[in-house]
Every structure is written in C-alpha cells, then in structure tokens.
Amino acid sequence: MEHTASEDITWEPAPAQHFTGEVWFGALSRVPEPGLNALGVHFAPGARTDWHSHPDGQVLYIAAGAGKVQNRDGETVAVSAGDVVYSPAGEVHWHGSTTHTHMMHLSLTTGGATEWLAEKVTDDDYAR
C-alpha cells in the first residue's frame, strides 16, 4: 500500500497550448502508460480545455464546483459535484468550469496520451 497525503500531491499549471484560463494538474496514479491515468484537474472560473479525444475514452468525476462538457456534435451538459461523464473512445470534446465557478474533476483514462486537436474552444462554443 502507498499513501499520499493531500498536501504532498504536486499541482502544476496545465500547458497553455491546450487550455484557456488557469488550470492545474495533480497526478493521482503511478501506473505506467498505457495503464490507468488518474489526474486531478482544477479549473478557475471560465477555464477550459481545447478540443481533444482519448484513445480508450474518458471518465470524469466532478469532485467540486460546476462546469460543462460539450462534444463536437454540440451536445452540452452542465455538471456539478458528484456527477460522472463518460466520453467514448475517439469522441472529440472539451470540458471546463462555468464563468463564475471553480471546478475540480478527476480524469480517468487508459490507452495512452490525450489526442489534442490544434483548435481552441471558441467563446461561442463555450457560451452554449
């Protein structure tokens, strides 16, 4: 068994090339690729990811705050603490906080690295 106290989790700024606004990552898993990647992600109000997908899909567990998730087809869901969102393998989507609320979610993926599109989420997409 291995225990990591909350104060020992290292939170790092997310790369601006794939995010809009202030976002921080906290690695929660220590399993080598392509095993389970568990990541805590904290979004400041108005922050969001770029468009992306995951080789084996993604489970998001909303731990705190509120936000939204949208797929390329325009389906948008409002999320809040306790909600779970599943994006299947290859589904292009984005997620982030609301304009007035922080959001923290756990991102659970397998199958390798996130596949980032070279495309920011527009203000119109975000406003839907």
- Domains of the chain in start order, with CATH, are 11-127 (2.60.120.10)
Q: Are residues 84 and 109 in contact, defined by beta-carbon separation less than 8 angstroms?
A: no
Percent of the chain at pLDDT above 90? 85
Residue 66's φ and ψ, nearest 5 degrees, are -145, 155
The whole-angstrom separation of Cα 111 and Cα 88 is: 12
pLDDT of residue 2 exceeding 90, the answer is: no
List the beta strands (DSSP E) in the chain.
11-13, 19-20, 23-27, 37-43, 48-49, 52-53, 58-71, 76-80, 84-87, 93-97, 103-109, 115-116
pLDDT of residue 65 exceeding 90, the answer is: yes
Q: How far is CA 99 from CA 4, 44, 48, in A?
A: 32, 9, 10
The model's pLDDT over 24-51, given as tens digits with 9 standing for 90+, comes to: 999 998 777 678 899 999 999 999 999 9
Taking residues 48-66, report their average pLDDT: 97
**pLDDT-derived band of residue 94, with 50, 70 and 90 as boundaries?**
very high
**pLDDT-derived band of residue 57, with 50, 70 and 90 as boundaries?**
very high
